[in-house]
C-alpha cells in the first residue's frame, strides 16, 4: 500500500510558492532550538516538520542553535540536542549558531542606527515597561528616542566596549509606541549582560534579542520558509520589519503552526526543569518524561515517533493529542519488529505432579508468530515452573478462562495442564499450585482435538533468570497537568513500579541495552539503556499490549458497583 501524501497548510503554501517559482524553486528550512534544555516530543513535531519538508521537496534543513541568551545555555544541551536529532534519523544540512552571527548582527545594528531606525535608550527597566503602555492603552515615547545618530553610535559602541553597567542602556528599534501590536512599540534589540557565553566566552557583554536575531539569521542562511509556533504570530510584523529595513541576503517567510500538547504529560520547559531538578524523576531521560531521551530509554523507536508526528498533522488549531495515538504508533512498530519472549512478572510456583521427577526437555518457541524469518528458540521445560499470578483464580470470575481449580489451560509451546490443588500460607495467600500435565499435548496441541480456552506463558523454575522489571504509566493523573497551578499534586504515584524477582527466559540476560521485545501477553519491553547488564538484567515496559480482558474486568467491576 502506498502511503497517502501528507497534506497540511504549510505544504500547500510551499506547493503554491513552487508553482509560482518563488525562491527559484528552492526550499530551505531550519530547526532552531535554544540550547537551554532537552528536546521533547513537541520538538519532535517541529523536527519532523522541518526535516520532513526538506526531504520531500529536495530542500535543505539547517540545525541552528538560537543561543542569544547566555544565562541558561550550555554545551551539554547542544550535545544532547544533536544526539536526539541524529537518533530520530535526521541529518542537518549546515550546523549553525546564532552566536556565529554576533559580529554581523552588530554591523546590521549600526546600519539601523545610521538610518535613524534604532536608538540607545537609557530608561530603566521599570520605566521601559511603564512607557510601553498596556494592551489597550498606547505607549509613550522615551525622552531618549530622538538622540542624534552620532550620539547613538557612540553610545552603542561604548555598550559593546563594556563601559556601562548591566541594564544601564538598551538598543531599541524606532517603530511606533502607539502600535496596537505591542511587539512594535520600539522593541529592544540589544541588552547589556555581563554573562559569559558558552561559545563566545567574554568577548561580548551585549547580546542581541530573539526578534532581532532570528529573522537575520534566517536571512543569512537563505531560509525560504521559517516555521515556528503560534505564540510568535504577533512577532511576525517585527520579523518582517527588521528584514525590510536592512539590506539582507533574503527575506524568508515566517509561518506559524500549533505546538503539540499531549494528554497526561507536560511540554513546558519550566515544568520539565522542575521535575528534573527537584528530583520528581530520575533525570532528563527518565522513561516517564516526554523528552526524546526519555522516550528512547522507555523503548520508543525513532520510526514510531516519526510516525506519530505524521499522524497528528500540522495546523494552526491548538489541540491535545490522546496518549493512545502515541501508544498506537509504538505498538504498530514493535508488533512487527520485536521478537517475542516469555517473562513472568509476578511469579506463582506451579508443581506438575505427574511430570517425572528431575526430568527436563526442550520445547520450541517461535520468535514471531507471523514472521518465520525471525526464527525459533529452544526452551527448557520441567516439572516446576512459574506462571503469572494473575493467570490463576481460585474462584474464577465470569468470563475468566485461564487457570482455576479443575480447569485446563495450555502452557504456550509446551503442554496442557490441569489444576488439581492449591497450597496456601498461614495468611491464606496462595503460594503454590499443583497441576497435572497431559503428555500427549506436547507443543501445545492435543491429538484428540480437545480445545482449551486459555493459553498462558511460563518459565521453568530452574532455568529462568531473575530480572528487574520497571513498569511505567502516565506521569500525571490529570489530563492537562500544566493547566494546574499545583501540578505536582497531580503526579501519578504509580507512574513507576519496580518489580524485582521477575522470572525471565535465560537468554534475555545476554541482550544488549536498548534491545526490544514483546513479553508475550504482557507488552513491549526493552533492556534499560543505563542499568541493564548480564549480572543485573533490567527491563522497562514501553507499553502494554491492548488488553480486552482488563476492559471486561473493569466493566464488570463498575457494573457491580452500580448494582
**Catalytic (active-site) positions:** 34, 259, 269
Q: Cell for 495?
A: 507512574
Residue 405 sits in the site that holds RNA (CB under 7 A): no
Start-to-end CA span in the chain (Å):
49
Interaction residues for RNA, span 256-315 (CB under 7 A)? 258, 311-315
Residue 552 sits in the site that holds RNA (CB under 7 A): yes
Residue 129 sits in the site that holds RNA (CB under 7 A): yes
Q: Give CA 158 to chain center in angstroms.
A: 45
Kindly state the smallest distance separating residue 274's Cβ from RNA, in Å.
15
Kindly state the smallest distance separating residue 412's Cβ from RNA, in Å.
4
Which one of 319, 356, 378, 421 is in contact with RNA (CB under 7 A)?
319
**Applying CB under 7 A, which part among 74-82, 88-96, 179-187, 298-306 lies near RNA?**
179-187
Alpha carbons 146 and 122: distance in angstroms, whole number: 12
Query: How crowded is the C-beta side of 444, counted as CA atoms within 13 Å?
Result: 17
C-beta of residue 367 within 8 angstroms of C-beta of residue 340: yes
Interaction residues for RNA, span 458-487 (CB under 7 A)? none
Q: By CB neighbour count within 10 A (0-12 exposed, 13-18 middle, 19+ buried), where does 321 fall?
A: middle
- Cα angle for residues 275, 199, 120 (degrees, 5° grid): 95
Kindly state the number of chain residues that form the binding site for RNA, as judged by CB under 7 A.
88
Q: Which of 369, 341, 383, 367 is nearest to 502 (CA)?
A: 341
Kindly state the smallest distance separating residue 329's Cβ from RNA, in Å.
8
**Applying CB under 7 A, which part among 75-83, 151-159, 329-337, 532-540 lies near RNA?**
329-337
Residue 211 sits in the site that holds RNA (CB under 7 A): yes
How far is the CA of 356 from the CAs of 4, 410, 437, 451, in angstroms?
59, 19, 11, 25
Residue 209 sits in the site that holds RNA (CB under 7 A): yes
Kindly state the smallest distance separating residue 425's Cβ from RNA, in Å.
25
Residue 140 sits in the site that holds RNA (CB under 7 A): no
Helices (H), 377-507: none
Which one of 29, 291, 518, 542 is in contact with RNA (CB under 7 A)?
518
Residue 34 sits in the site that holds RNA (CB under 7 A): yes
Residue 282 or 552 with smaller CB distance to RNA: 552
Residue-by-residue DSSP string for 198-254: TTTBTS-SEEE-HHHHHHHHHHHTT-SEEEEEGGGGGGHHHHHHHHHHS--S--PEE
**Applying CB under 7 A, which part among 280-288, 343-351, 442-450, 507-515 lies near RNA?**
442-450
Q: Give CA 470 to chain center in angstroms.
A: 19
Residue 372 sits in the site that holds RNA (CB under 7 A): no
Kindly state the smallest distance separating residue 289's Cβ from RNA, in Å.
20
Kindly state the smallest distance separating residue 279's Cβ from RNA, in Å.
24
Residue 317 sits in the site that holds RNA (CB under 7 A): yes
Which one of 181, 268, 466, 506 is in contact with RNA (CB under 7 A)?
181
Residue 232 sits in the site that holds RNA (CB under 7 A): yes
**Applying CB under 7 A, which part among 203-211, 246-254, 276-284, 496-504 lies near RNA?**
203-211
Interaction residues for RNA, span 39-68 (CB under 7 A)? 66, 68
In this structure, what are the phi and psi dihedrals at residue 435, rounded to the nearest 5 degrees?
-140, 170
Residue 293 or 329 with smaller CB distance to RNA: 329
Which one of 103, 146, 151, 231 is in contact with RNA (CB under 7 A)?
231
Residue 407 DSSP SS3: coil
Q: Cell for 275?
A: 521535575
Which one of 20, 359, 362, 370 is in contact with RNA (CB under 7 A)?
370
Alpha carbons 409 and 419: distance in angstroms, whole number: 9
Per-residue exposure over 426-459, b if at least 16 CB sit within 10 Å of its own CB, e if not: eeeeeeebbbbbbeebbebebeeeeebeebbbbb
Kindly state the smallest distance separating residue 535's Cβ from RNA, in Å.
28
Residue 234 sits in the site that holds RNA (CB under 7 A): yes
C-beta of residue 327 within 8 angstroms of C-beta of residue 430: no
Residue 9 sits in the site that holds RNA (CB under 7 A): yes
Kindly state the smallest distance separating residue 325's Cβ from RNA, in Å.
4
In this structure, what are the phi and psi dihedrals at residue 498, rounded to the nearest 5 degrees?
-100, 120
Residue 320 or 533 with smaller CB distance to RNA: 320
Residue 125 sits in the site that holds RNA (CB under 7 A): yes
Which one of 43, 288, 412, 541 is in contact with RNA (CB under 7 A)?
412
Alpha carbons 335 and 138: distance in angstroms, whole number: 59
Amino acid at each position: 500500500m502506498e502511503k497517502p501524501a501528507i497534506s497540511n497548510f504549510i505544504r500547500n503554501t510551499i506547493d503554491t510558492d513552487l508553482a509560482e517559482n518563488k525562491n527559484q524553486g528552492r526550499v530551505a528550512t531550519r530547526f532552531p532550538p535554544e540550547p537551554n534544555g532537552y528536546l521533547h516530543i513537541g520538538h519532535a513535531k517541529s523536527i519532523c516538520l522541518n526535516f520532513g519538508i526538506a526531504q520531500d521537496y529536495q530542500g535543505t534543513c539547517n540545525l541552528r542553535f538560537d543561543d542569544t541568551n547566555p544565562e541558561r545555555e550550555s554545551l551539554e544541551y547542544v550535545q544532547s540536542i544533536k544526539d536526539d536529532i541524529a537518533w530520530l534519523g535526521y541529518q542537518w544540512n549546515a550546523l549553525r549558531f546564532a552566536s556565529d552571527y554576533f559580529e554581523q548582527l552588530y554591523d546590521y545594528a549600526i546600519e539601523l542606527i545610521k538610518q535613524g531606525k534604532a536608538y540607545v535608550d537609557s530608561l530603566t527597566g521599570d520605566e521601559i515597561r511603564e512607557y510601553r503602555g498596556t494592551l489597550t492603552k498606547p505607549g509613550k515615547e522615551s525622552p531618549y528616542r530622538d538622540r542624534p545618530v552620532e550620539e547613538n553610535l557612540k553610545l552603542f559602541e561604548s555598550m559593546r566596549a563594556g563601559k556601562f553597567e548591566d541594564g544601564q542602556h538598551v538598543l531599541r528599534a524606532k517603530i511606533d509606541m502607539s502600535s496596537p501590536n505591542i511587539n512594535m512599540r520600539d522593541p529592544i534589540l540589544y541588552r547589556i549582560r555581563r554573562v559569559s557565553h558558552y561559545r563566545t566566552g567574554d568577548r561580548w557583554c551585549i547580546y542581541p534579542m530573539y526578534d532581532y536575531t532570528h529573522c537575520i539569521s534566517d536571512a543569512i542562511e537563505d531560509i525560504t520558509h521559517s516555521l515556528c509556533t503560534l505564540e510568535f504570530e504577533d512577532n511576525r510584523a517585527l520579523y518582517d520589519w527588521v528584514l525590510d529595513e536592512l539590506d539582507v541576503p533574503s527575506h524568508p517567510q515566517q509561518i506559524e503552526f500549533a505546538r503539540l500538547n499531549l494528554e497526561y504529560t507536560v511540554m513546558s520547559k519550566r515544568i520539565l526543569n522542575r521535575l528534573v531538578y527537584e528530583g520528581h524523576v530520575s533525570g532528563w531521560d527518565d522513561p516517564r518524561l516526554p523528552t526524546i531521551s526519555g522516550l528512547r530509554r522507555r523503548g520508543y523507536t525513532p520510526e514510531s515517533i516519526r510516525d506519530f508526528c505524521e499522524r497528528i498533522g500540522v495546523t494552526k488549531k491548538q489541540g491535545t493529542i490522546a496518549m493512545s495515538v502515541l501508544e498506537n504508533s509504538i505498538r504498530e512498530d514493535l508488533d512487527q519488529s520485536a521478537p517475542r519472549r516469555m517473562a513472568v512478572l509476578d511469579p506463582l510456583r506451579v508443581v506438575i505432579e505427574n511430570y517425572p521427577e528431575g526430568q527436563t526437555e526442550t520445547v520450541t518457541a517461535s520468535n514471531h508468530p507471523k514472521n518465520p524469518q525471525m526464527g525459533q528458540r529452544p526452551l527448557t521445560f520441567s516439572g516446576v515452573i512459574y506462571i503469572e499470578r494473575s493467570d490463576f483464580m481460585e474462584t474464577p470470575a465470569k468470563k475468566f478462562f485461564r487457570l482455576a481449580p479443575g480447569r485446563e489451560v495450555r502452557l504456550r509451546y509446551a503442554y496442557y495442564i490441569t489444576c488439581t490443588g492449591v497450597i496456601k500460607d498461614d495468611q491464606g495467600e496462595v503460594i503454590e499450585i499443583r497441576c497435572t500435565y497431559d503428555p500427549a499435548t506436547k507443543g501445545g496441541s492435543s491429538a484428540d482435538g480437545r480445545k482449551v480456552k486459555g493459553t498462558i506463558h511460563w518459565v521453568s523454575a530452574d532455568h529462568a533468570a531473575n530480572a528487574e522489571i520497571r513498569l511505567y504509566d502516565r506521569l500525571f493523573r490529570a489530563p492537562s497537568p500544566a493547566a494546574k497551578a499545583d501540578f505536582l499534586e497531580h503526579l501519578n504515584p504509580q507512574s513507576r513500579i519496580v518489580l524485582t524477582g521477575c522470572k525471565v527466559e535465560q537468554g534475555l540476560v545476554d541482550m544488549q541495552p536498548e534491545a526490544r521485545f514483546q513479553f508475550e501477553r504482557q507488552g513491549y519491553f526493552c533492556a534499560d539503556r543505563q542499568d541493564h547488564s548480564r549480572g543485573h538484567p533490567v527491563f522497562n515496559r514501553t507499553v502494554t499490549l491492548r488488553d480486552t480482558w482488563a476492559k471486561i474486568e473493569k466493566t464488570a467491576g463498575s457494573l457491580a458497583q452500580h448494582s
